[in-house]
Amino acid sequence: MLYAKGAKVTIVARTEAKLKKAAETISKEGKGQVQYFCFDLSNPDVNKVEELFTQAEDKFGNVEYLFCNAGSSLPTMFLEADLDYYESQMKTNYLNYVKTSQTMAKRMAQRRSGTIVYVSSILGALTCVGYSAYSPSKHAIKALADVVRIELAPYNVNVHLFLPGSILTPGYYEENKMKPEVSKRVEGTADFLEPDKCAHILLNGMERGNYLITTEMLFELTNPASIGSCDRSNVLLNLALAPLSVLTNYFINYVNHSEMAKEKLKKE
């Protein structure tokens, strides 16, 4: 979408074949420019990140928008999970955001211009059984964005936090292959979005100047009681929804407990 408006787009991922295919798809949608770099963001070396940004800016000029959206989710139950998986999720889903965004934030702060977008998840504000490794890493991103937004404001660097629901990507289908049945039941009839629709919602929210952006009506109902002290787009609306927000959060908690109780009975 940004490319269609004439933007110079740089994409980064581990697999060159996928990057090449993505670049070819993007190049058909407008009059912008696109380049790509093969780079493993799961646990990047900061010096390598610095080199990556230098290469990107050498051709396309200053990075004005940084979208941090690398990550993975392989849900499993807490009692069955390998402890190494928790460390892996924090490295992939959280620490890579810290390293890449801090490196670029220093450049943006120096020139007093730029925007950083942290892509978390609806599970960065809510909870669901089966996501005891993934959800904390996404909550950490929200906390990071809440603080970084305040610290970068004097430097004219904007920060947005995106909390999408389920997006129909190849990663989501891989996630579903190992998702516990109890997690699927809690997820229920949640909305599933195509990537293009999800991107459209994000960009519209950014254009409106919203800090918190989500694809889920459920989050709109729960956020007055669940987002803490971060910036709110509509304080009056949050106050009006506060009683309903408490009830909605209670209901989500009830569904999680109820489904876990059913799961226990099935195993007895």
pLDDT in tens, 200-231: 999 999 999 999 898 876 656 655 555 566 66
Structure tokens at 173: 């289908």
Say whether both 22 and 60 belong to one domain.
no
On the 0-12 / 13-18 / 19+ scale of CB atoms within 10 A, 230 is middle
Say whether both 16 and 118 belong to one domain.
no
CA nearest 21: which of 31, 8, 36, 4? 36
Question: Does 86 participate in catalysis according to the annotation?
Answer: no
Type and span of the H or E element at 149: helix 134-152
Say whether both 15 and 141 belong to one domain.
no
192: β partners: 166
Say whether both 123 and 221 belong to one domain.
yes
Say whether both 123 and 177 belong to one domain.
yes
Say whether both 46 and 133 belong to one domain.
yes
pLDDT for 167: 85
- pLDDT value at 1 more than 90: no
Say whether both 19 and 114 belong to one domain.
no
Distance between CA atoms of residues 151 and 79, nearest Å: 38
pLDDT for 208: 92
Distance between CA atoms of residues 122 and 216, nearest Å: 8
Say whether both 32 and 132 belong to one domain.
no
* Number of independent structural domains in the chain: 2
Say whether both 146 and 22 belong to one domain.
no
pLDDT for 223: 58
- Average pLDDT of the residues in 131-155: 95
Catalytic residue among 3, 97, 138, 179: 138
pLDDT for 242: 67
Catalytic residue among 73, 97, 101, 120: 120
Say whether both 69 and 30 belong to one domain.
no
Least-confidence region, from 15-19, 133-137, 236-240? 236-240
pLDDT for 232: 56
Domain that holds residue 93: 41-267
Find out whether 135 and 71 touch, Cβ atoms under 8 Å.
no
pLDDT 10s digits, 29-81 = 778 899 999 999 887 899 999 999 999 999 999 999 999 998 888 899 999 99
At 128, which CATH number? 3.40.50.720
Say whether both 30 and 53 belong to one domain.
no
Catalytic residue among 36, 131, 134, 211: 134
- For the entire predicted model, the pTM comes to 0.85
Axis crossing angle, helix 134-152 with helix 83-90, rounded to the nearest 10: 30
Token pair 């729960």 is at which residue?
222
Supply the DSSP string of 20-48, one letter for each residue. Answer: HHHHHHHHTSSS-EEEEEE---SS--HHH
Between 1 and 182, name the one with better pLDDT: 182
Find out whether 125 and 168 touch, Cβ atoms under 8 Å.
no
Q: What Å distances lie between residue 131 and 136, 147, 224, 265, CA to CA? A: 8, 24, 23, 21
- 146: three-class secondary structure by DSSP: helix
Say whether both 4 and 97 belong to one domain.
no
